[in-house]
Chain A
Amino acid sequence: KQEVTQIPAALSVPEGENLVLNCSFTDSAIYNLQWFRQDPGKGLTSLLLIQSSQREQTSGRLNASLDKSSGRSTLYIAASQPGDSATYLCAVQYGGSQGNLIFGKGTKLSVKP
Chain B
Amino acid sequence: NAGVMQNPRHLVRRRGQEARLRCSPMKGHSHVYWYRQLPEEGLKFMVYLQKENIIDESGMPKERFSAEFPKEGPSILRIQQVVRGDSAAYFCASSPPAFSDTQYFGPGTRLTVL
Residues of A within 8 A of B (CB): 4, 31-32, 34, 36, 41-46, 49, 51, 89, 91, 93, 97-98, 100-106
Contacts and interface: CB of A to CB of B under 8 A. Distances in A.
Contact of B105 (A43, A97, A98): A43
A70 to B, nearest CB: 21
Dominant SS among interface residues on chain A? strand
Interface stretch (B11-19, B40-48, B61-69, B75-83): B40-48
A100 B31 CA distance: 11
Contacts of A104: 42
B72 to A, nearest CB: 22
B44 A43 contact: no
Nearest to A50: B101
Nearest to A104: B42
B44 A98 contact: no
Given A43-B105, A89-B43, A105-B42, A100 B99 contact: no
Given A98-B48, A98-B95, A46 B43 contact: no
A105 B107 CA distance: 18
A31 B95 CA distance: 16
Contacts of B42: 4, 89, 103-106
A6 B56 CA distance: 26
B41 A44 contact: no
Interface in B28-57: 31, 33, 35, 40-45, 48, 55-56
B106 interface: yes
B99 A97 contact: yes
